[in-house]
């Protein structure tokens, strides 16, 4: 009963944050531009401020890809990847633990007596590391949905943590590099498109988008 109340409280908090705070205003193109300018103005604290915003966005299931690209634009490919990766990982861990301790009991009761779903839960739990790693490497499902969804399965925290840290790194680097490309790109100078820092990330994004199709064919 207590966990159910906390879950309702959390959902109410998310809805309240969206409808009754300035967060809603930042979920637009103009809002992101304003947010980027404000983060830049923080000087040496900019990485920390950006990281905290990214963690909060992950926990509240806000779009993370835009922030990942923004991290590349703000901090470059390498530092941006590190900051994005750490922030996304912390947010993913918090989301997983929230789902695990607020919603797992309810899921267990629902699955009881439902053979197919219960068997799927068991299978994921018994192959936790590999299952999570594949889900992270092959973007078949939304990132935020997986964070909470996997918390409702029998996957151990250890398997989830290790597979998430490893599995998110390639995609994080790709989208951070895409943002970093904006630092080198100039529409006034078409020759900038010939730089590997510009066309490389676009090629990586295309390859990453093909992974789900390749994976589905092999399975």
Percentage of the chain lying above the pLDDT 70 cut: 58
Q: Where are the alpha helices (DSSP H) in the chain?
A: 2-20, 23-26, 29-40, 46-59, 65-75, 77-111, 115-126, 128-137, 143-151, 157-184, 196-218
**Distance in angstroms (rounded) separating the CA atoms of residues 6 and 109:** 18
pLDDT band at 117 (very low <50, low <70, confident <90, very high): very low
Mean pLDDT across the chain, nearest whole number?
Answer: 74
pLDDT at position 206 is 66
pLDDT at site 207: 67
| Residue 25 reports pLDDT greater than 90 | no
What digits encode the pLDDT tens for the residues 91-100?
999 999 988 8
Domain ranges of the chain: 2-218
- Give the pLDDT of residue 114: 45
For range 35-59, the mean pLDDT:
85
Look at residue 91 and give its three-state secondary structure. helix
Confirm whether pTM is higher than 0.85.
no
- The yes-or-no verdict on residue 37 having pLDDT over 90 is no
């Amino acid at each position: 009963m207590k966990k159910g109340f906390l879950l309702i409280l959390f959902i109410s908090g998310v809805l309240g944050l969206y409808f009754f705070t300035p967060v809603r205003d930042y979920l637009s193109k103009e809002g992101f531009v304003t947010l980027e300018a404000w983060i830049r103005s923080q000087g040496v604290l900019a990485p920390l401020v950006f990281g905290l915003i990214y963690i909060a966005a992950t926990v509240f299931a806000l779009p993370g890809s835009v922030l990942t690209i923004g991290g590349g634009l703000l901090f470059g490919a390498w530092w941006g990847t590190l900051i994005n990766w750490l922030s996304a990982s912390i947010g993913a861990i918090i989301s997983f633990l929230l789902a695990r301790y607020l919603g797992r009991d309810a899921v267990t009761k629902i699955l009881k007596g439902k053979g197919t779903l219960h068997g799927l839960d068991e299978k994921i739990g018994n192959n936790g590391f590999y299952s999570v790693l594949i889900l992270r490497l092959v973007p078949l499902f939304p990132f935020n949905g997986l964070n909470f969804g996997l918390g409702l399965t029998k996957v151990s925290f250890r398997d989830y943590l290790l597979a998430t840290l490893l599995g998110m790194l390639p995609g994080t680097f790709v989208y951070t590099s895409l943002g970093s490309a904006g630092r080198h790109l100039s529409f006034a100078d078409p020759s900038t498109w010939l730089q590997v820092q510009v066309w490389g990330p676009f090629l990586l994004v295309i390859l990453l988008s093909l992974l789900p199709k390749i994976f589905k064919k092999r399975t």
